């Protein structure tokens, strides 16, 4: 019995292995990821909780979107918390299943001389659209390829131009559009209108294919996310961000 005591002591005194710390990387995209929001935003909170359940410690890191995407593709950085899958990105990144659906809508001022039907039907090619620089709109913009485009760094800058009449419409995630309108233009919120959905995009996490544990990280994340949906945690996090759709015209 005594011959086992030294080994037992060594095991007791050995340092306990710590969980891997993952950087959860996101750009400033409220309400999905934003350092000023509780728990760094809705997507950040969802992913951080899933990763905690999956056995990982996490740290939220916010950065420029173009650098985030380039760094992840080169094997740098951590887990991108909110990204749309494209074939080009899939060459360097491993993607999870969608954990959230982005509803894509058009935003315009309610009191205009044109309707969403005219805009989406291609009857008003003279109308200018505002877009966020480096945002992955993809084929969403195909139906607007004839419209003049004006680029800004942040969505709130696009919404400001829309409110001032310097552009005629913009396109984006419903939750992001509503957040920018309600947060930065609360008095004028009723002057904006959102179209019926024009597309759906699944929000996913992504890990560089060069990360040796990319498949394990994603598998554990997906399992934890299903658990969160089952026990009500998922809806507890996202429900405060959801609002009824605005009237359309």
Place of tokens 């507890």: 236
Assigned CATH for 102-199: 3.40.190.10
Do 208 and 75 form a contact (C-beta atoms < 8 A)? yes
Mean pLDDT across the chain, nearest whole number? 85
pLDDT by residue (tens digit) across 196-243? 999 999 999 999 999 899 999 999 999 999 999 999 999 999 998 876
Q: Does the pLDDT value for residue 10 go beyond 90?
A: no
Assigned CATH for 21-100+202-241: 3.40.190.10
Same fold, 21-100+202-241 and 102-199: yes
Output the pLDDT for position 26: 87
**Domain ranges, ordered by start, for the chain:** 21-100+202-241, 102-199
Mean pLDDT of 4-14: 32
Q: Per-residue b/e over 49-71, b at no fewer than 16 CB within 10 Å?
A: bbbebbebebebbbeebeebbeb
Output the pLDDT for position 132: 93
Q: What pTM was estimated for this model as a whole?
A: 0.84
- Rounded distance, CA 235 to CA 227, Å? 12
3-state secondary structure at position 32: coil
More confident residue, 64 or 93: 93
Instruction: Give the rounded percent of residues in the chain with a pLDDT score beyond 70.
Output: 84
pLDDT by residue (tens digit) across 147-188? 999 999 999 999 999 999 999 999 999 999 999 999 999 999
* Angle, CA 232 vertex, CA 229 and CA 237 arms, to 5°: 90
Output the pLDDT for position 136: 81
Alpha carbons within 13 A on the beta-carbon side of 249: 11
């Amino acid at each position: 019995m005594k011959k086992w005591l030294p080994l037992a002591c060594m095991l007791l005194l050995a340092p306990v292995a710590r969980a891997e710390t993952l950087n959860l990387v996101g750009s400033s995209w409220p309400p999905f990821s934003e350092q000023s929001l509780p728990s760094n935003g809705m997507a950040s909170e969802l992913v951080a909780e899933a990763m905690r359940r999956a056995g990982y410690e996490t740290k939220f890191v916010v950065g420029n979107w173009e650098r985030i995407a380039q760094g992840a593709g080169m094997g740098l950085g951590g887990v991108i918390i909110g990204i749309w899958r494209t074939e080009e990105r899939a060459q360097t990144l491993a993607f999870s299943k969608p954990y959230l659906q982005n509803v894509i809508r058009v935003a315009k001022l309610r009191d205009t001389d044109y309707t969403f039907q005219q805009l989406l039907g291609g009857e008003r090619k003279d109308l200018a659209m505002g877009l966020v620089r480096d945002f992955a709109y993809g084929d969403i913009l195909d139906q607007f390829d004839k419209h003049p485009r004006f680029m800004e760094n942040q969505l709130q800058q696009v919404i400001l131009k829309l409110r001032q009449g310097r552009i005629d419409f913009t396109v984006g995630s419903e939750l992001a559009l509503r957040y920018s309108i309600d947060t930065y233009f609360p008095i004028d919120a009723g002057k904006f209108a959102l179209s019926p959905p024009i597309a759906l995009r699944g929000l996913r996490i992504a890990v560089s294919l060069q990360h040796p544990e990319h498949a394990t990280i994603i598998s554990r994340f997906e399992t934890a996310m299903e658990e969160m949906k089952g026990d009500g945690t998922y809806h507890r996090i996202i429900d405060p961000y959801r609002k009824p759709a605005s009237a359309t015209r």
